[in-house]
Amino acid sequence: MINVASFMTMTNLAELLSESHSDYLVYDLGRRVQAIDTDTFNAICAQQRPYPYPLQDQAWFAVVFWPKLRAEQPEPFLWFLKMPLDERGLLDHAAQQEFMAHVIALLGQQITGALTSEQEQQLQQSAYLFTPSEAKRAAIHAQLTAGWNRPPSRYFNAALEELQSPTESGWQHLGLQGIHDVAARLKQHPESTQAIAAHFENYPDALQNALAEALEHTQPPQELADKLLTLVNAQQQQLRLNVLRALAGFANTPQLQTLLAQRMAVATADELVIIVARLWPALCGNAELMEAYLVRVAELNNAALFGGIVRDLLRLPETRIFTLGLVQRNDLPVALYQAWQQFIGANS
């Protein structure tokens, strides 16, 4: 129960959850579905640190919460939230206050109480709630059930069987949730890891695409990662793109950074977009790779592509300082210098 006097002094979402006597988990939903630890989330809500994974100047995240002191496994409540970030990348204070006021006005002092259908409809009218893609909903459900040692969905066994022993058309009958359930549980199924490593490059396109999208939200077992790393320079572009997505959990490893450096001179626009969207940690602290990456973007002579990627790098707290340090050098390669000058001229 939230004390009314306490509500009057609350300033952010983390305090709302604390005052409601809830336990909670937070996940980013903008780039990869990945957990944000409680201390980090508290600091984000208090504007003590920028949101780590901004996308389109917004924070996209899920808050999973349930009443404290429950003996049984929790049946959680779930908010999918998108909130604006200010020019410093901090979670907007006014937006938090507005959402909190809406929640308290609608739900009263107990935010973990059962909702009527009318309350549910009114809550969904909030400008700060959104509906994630089916894949991201599947990813967060898979991570929650795996983390709580709950059974996977009813689609799990069929997906597991098809991925282990692919057939000509069996993939057409798989549920997306089952593929995500398999991806989230590979470390408990070494035989599946071995099979996926053996078959990945030969899966039908639709199955390979769906599996790559599921793997990008996890950190696959090393055995699978080792096989995927051998395919970074595969001849077929769609396979390369899927491999890069599937390796998102290994973005900051020396092995992947080395392969990206070797690939950079011929990387396509689609590969470059995936790198900034999913593999940006590979660029952090690696000055040579960051330079090679931006030079390649500039060489494609596409002002919209260059501008979009640079803006993304400048928004990400992890890459901002490295990007600025590079483009402010006096000895930039010609292509990068010209593209940067065009960019700042267009944005001045």
Give the strands of the sheet with 77-84, arranged side by side. Answer: 34-36, 22-28, 58-67, 77-84
**pLDDT tier, 62 (very low <50, low <70, confident <90, very high otherwise):** very high
pLDDT tens profile 39-55: 999 999 999 999 999 99
Q: How far apart are CA 66 and CA 222, in angstroms?
A: 34
pLDDT tens profile 69-90: 655 666 788 999 999 999 999 9
Residue 7 pLDDT > 70, yes or no? Answer: no
pLDDT recorded at residue 72: 63
Q: How far apart are CA 26 and CA 304, in angstroms?
A: 33
Which residue, 266, 235, 233, is CA-closest to 247?
Answer: 233
* Mean pLDDT value across the chain: 91
Q: How far apart are CA 338 and CA 163, in angstroms?
A: 47
pLDDT recorded at residue 9: 64
Q: How far apart are CA 145 and CA 139, in angstroms?
A: 10
pLDDT tens profile 306-346: 999 999 999 999 999 999 999 999 999 999 999 999 998 87
Residues 6+ apart with CB under 8 A from 168: none
**pLDDT tier, 101 (very low <50, low <70, confident <90, very high otherwise):** confident
Residue 292 pLDDT > 70, yes or no? Answer: yes
**pLDDT tier, 8 (very low <50, low <70, confident <90, very high otherwise):** low
- DSSP annotation of 51 reads -
**pLDDT tier, 237 (very low <50, low <70, confident <90, very high otherwise):** very high
Residue 127 pLDDT > 70, yes or no? Answer: yes
What's this model's pTM, rounded to 2 decimal places?
Answer: 0.91
Domain boundaries, given as residue ranges, for the chain:
4-124, 133-229, 251-348
CA atoms within 13 A on the CB side of 237: 8
CB 62 within 8 A of CB 81: yes
Residue 6 pLDDT > 70, yes or no? Answer: no
Q: How many residues are recorded in the chain?
A: 348
> Cα separations (Å) of 339 from 154, 169, 268, 308?
51, 47, 17, 12
pLDDT recorded at residue 2: 46
pLDDT recorded at residue 323: 95
pLDDT tens profile 150-199: 999 999 999 999 999 999 898 999 999 999 999 999 999 999 999 999 99
Q: How far apart are CA 324 and CA 303, in angstroms?
A: 18
pLDDT recorded at residue 111: 66
